[in-house]
Structures are given as C-alpha cells and as structure tokens.
Amino acid sequence: MPPVHPSFVEPSAPTTHSRSARMIRASSLVAVVSLGAVACGGSSETSRSATVERDSIGDTLVVRTVAGSSWGEGTGRLVPETTIGVLDGPEEFIFGNLRAIAVAPDGRIMALDGQIPALRVYDADGNFVQTIGRDGEGPGEFGQPDSGLVILSDGRIVVRDPGNARLQVFDGSGEALDTWSVIPGGFNTSNPMLRARGDTLLTPVLVDRDADVTEWEMGLQRTAPDGSIVDTLRQPDAGFEAPRIEARRESESGSSVSINGVPFSPDEQVAFHPDGFFIHGINDSYSFTLLRPGGFIRIERAVDPAPVAAGEKESAEANATRNMRGMDPNWRWNGAPIPDVKPAYAALYAAEDGRIWVMVEGRGVERDNPDFDPADPESPETVWRSRYAFDIFDPDGTFVGRVDVPEDLGRFPTPVIRGDQLWGVTRDDLGVQRIVRYRLTAPATGA
C-alpha cells in the first residue's frame, strides 16, 4: 500500500513529516488550537465597510473581522437561474437518489443518481444531453456509486464506484476509458471526491479499516492524473473529542454500534482547498485555519452564535432517541446535554476560485410536519427547521459578506461553487430533488 502521510502539502510534493499529536505535527497543533488565547503586537485597520485586526504569530497570520464586510451593509442573495428535476415527467428529469453533482468548464451539469445507478448529463440551460453508465460490473458500469464525481481539466470524468471497488474513468463523450484502484475498496461514503490543481484526485478512504468503528480515521487517497496512487493524506485532527451518543446491539452474528453527535454540539470541521492544503477548524468559536505550506492564515469573525430554542432542543433529543432505539430499544441518553447555543458555524466549503464559504446556522423555526402520521405515536406534529447563511471570505482572510441560503437548498450532495455561481440540490416537501444553478447577487447590485 502506498505510504500514509499525516500532513497537508501541495499534491505534487509528498510529505515526510513524522506523526505527532495523532495527525498534525506539533507546531501545526499549536497554531490550530492556541491562537485564540495569544496576544501579541498587531494592527487594526478600518475601511469604509469593515474593521479588521491582523496579528502575526510565528508562521501564522491571524485575520479577525471585528465589524462590517467588503460589501458594506446588507446581505447577498442566491438567485435561481436554472432548475432541473420534476415530480412527474420524462424519466431523465426524475431523480431518485442524487449522490453527487459536478459542473464542466463549458457549464454542462452532471448528476450521479445512485438509485438508477447512472450519470446523467445536462447542458448549461438544463436540457438533457445523455446518460452515462448503468448497473453492472463491466467497463463503464456501476455497482454502487457513492458521492465521488470529478471532472478533470482534460474533460475526463471520474466516478467512485465502491460496489466494484474502483474508480471508473470516462472520456468527455461518456466512453469508458479505464478503471483505477482504491485502497481499501468497497468503502461507501457521503464525503465528496476532490480535485486539486494539477488534476491530482483525492478520494476519501479509511486509513485503518480493521480498527473498531469508534476508532476509524479518514484519509484522502491521492491519485495522479495517470491513475497511479501517490499516497494517502490523513486529515487534520487537533485531538478534539466531540460529544457523542452511542448505542450497541449484541447478537449471535456479532456486535453492532451506532454513534452520533450530540445535537448542536461543536465538532472539528475540515475542507480541502483546491490549491492543495486543508482548512481546519473547531466550531465552538468562529475561527478556522488555512493550513497553507509556508504560512498559515487563521480567519476569525466576531459573531454571537444562534440560541437553541427550548422546543428545538426537545425535538432534537426526541429525534436522536428514536434513532438510537432503532439499534437498542431500551436505549437511554448517554451523552452530554444538548447545548443552549448552536456551533459558530456548520460547515466549511472551498470554492473553485479559492474563496472560502462558511455555512452558518441561524435560529430554528417550528413548522407543521408534512409527514405527520396521526396513527404513529412517535410521529411529531411539528418539526424544527433552521435558516442558514453563507459567510464568504477571500483567501487572504478578508470577509466579503453574508449570503442568505435558500430554505430548500441541502448540504448533500456537496454544492459546486465557482465564482458567482453555485450549483446545489434542493428537496421540497414531497421529497422531489432538483438541481438548481444560482447566481450570487451582492447587496449593492441585488435586485
């Protein structure tokens, strides 16, 4: 098996750093964990629209937005431009289980549907072009595709197919070209497959599949553009132990376990930047670090997290309990209490242009449950929904502004973000999935 490296370097330069503090070398751990408590001589700058503090601490530049943004007043919008998907109609527009989407340089939209399973292709305006692949084990066929879908710069399409323990490679017209190895194979994940600049492919893998599920560590297998495996990068881990709840079931065939996070508890967040480095943060505070070779940038913003309403907390605990009792009917809460406030942010995304989009969860709203079943005593009459927003940062840490997230836009499959456009998947109250292309509109130019 190719070597496993613990660091975060350019894809073209395999690292030789030794392991320390589980995954991150010691100096990086200090930068990731301790900067918020360090005071040193720095500078404060106030522009017409934002107040920013900058401190240099060792090889880390700390950029903290105290107030305002590059946009000034107001919030941006994501305006829908193209929608693909229907409840009833031609089958090529009906989605069963979208696992991944990708967008070619010419605007073609590719949708990987795990229920078919096949890859459907649409032009930039949403017109159907073709279907690539089908169920099977032969060339160009899928056994069980997951969320791995990448378009390389030369037009080749790479689909992760855990059911056949391989990456399936097609040319731009959809003809099967090759299959590439994944070590170990057969691991299905909702984590996306990534492409770094230079067409290095990064696909999520388990570093040690023989370990107990509670000790699983995720890595990114780096594959060169010719299909050869370079090595595996371990994802950054500062040793933060997020609150968890756990249920186990013993049977003659063995032991089964279900592990979930305590709702609204902080956790580590990791994203991979297209320039070849990790972005890492612990969302108990609004801060995250760009682990760039040659000098880190820690980005902070002064905001108050959203509160967890009493009814929202009760609903989250009830939902978690129902899930755990599916594993153990006698399960009782065995984790930390649900917090009174939500994490400072919910997810990190690295856009193709290098900007960082931070998803922030707002206050919850109680609504009627469209799936309420009065005959089911465990079916709730109401559900809680949070409103979300994106905070956009330039790669140098400058806070660009906040953007409202459309209420029906989901976090899975992972959105594609390129310049002022975002492609994502929505789901309505009937469960109908649609692919929507949005245009980012800043407050100053918004309609």
Sketch the domain layout of the chain as residue ranges. 4-441
| CATH architecture designation of domain 4-441 | 6 Propeller (2.120)
- The reported pLDDT for the residue numbered 214 is 66
- What percentage of the chain reaches a pLDDT higher than 90? 68
Q: What are phi and psi of 221, to 5 degrees?
A: -75, 125
Q: How many other CB atoms are found less than 10 A from the CB of residue 382?
A: 11
User: Which of 205, 196, 156 minimizes the C-alpha distance to 179?
Assistant: 156
In this structure, are strands 60-68 and 296-301 parallel, antiparallel, or unpaired? parallel
Residue 33 has pLDDT above 60, yes or no: no
261/263 Cα distance (integer angstroms): 6
- The reported pLDDT for the residue numbered 205 is 86
Q: What are phi and psi of 262, to 5 degrees?
A: -70, 125
* Residue 300 contacts residue 16 (beta carbons within 8 Å): no
Q: Any idea which of 63-72, 124-133, 174-183 has the lowest mean pLDDT?
A: 174-183
| Mean pLDDT, residues 373-392 | 92
pLDDT band at 186 (very low <50, low <70, confident <90, very high): low
| Mean pLDDT, residues 15-44 | 35
Three-state SS sequence of 413-447: CCCEEECCEEEEEEECCCCCEEEEEEEEECCCCCC
pLDDT band at 334 (very low <50, low <70, confident <90, very high): very high
Q: List CB contacts of 309: < 8 A, sequence separation 6 or more.
A: 363, 364, 366, 384
What is the torsional sign of CA 12, 16, 19, 20?
A: negative
203-225, pLDDT tens digit by residue? 888 887 777 766 778 889 999 99
Mean pLDDT (the chain, rounded): 86
What is the torsional sign of CA 207, 209, 212, 218?
A: positive
Q: Any idea which of 41-45, 162-166, 204-208, 420-424 has the lowest mean pLDDT?
A: 41-45
272-301, pLDDT tens digit by residue? 999 989 999 999 999 999 999 989 999 999
Residue 152 has pLDDT above 50, yes or no: yes
User: Which of 412, 315, 447 minimizes the C-alpha distance to 97?
Assistant: 412
Burial class (CB in 10 A: 0-12, 13-18, 19+), 397: buried
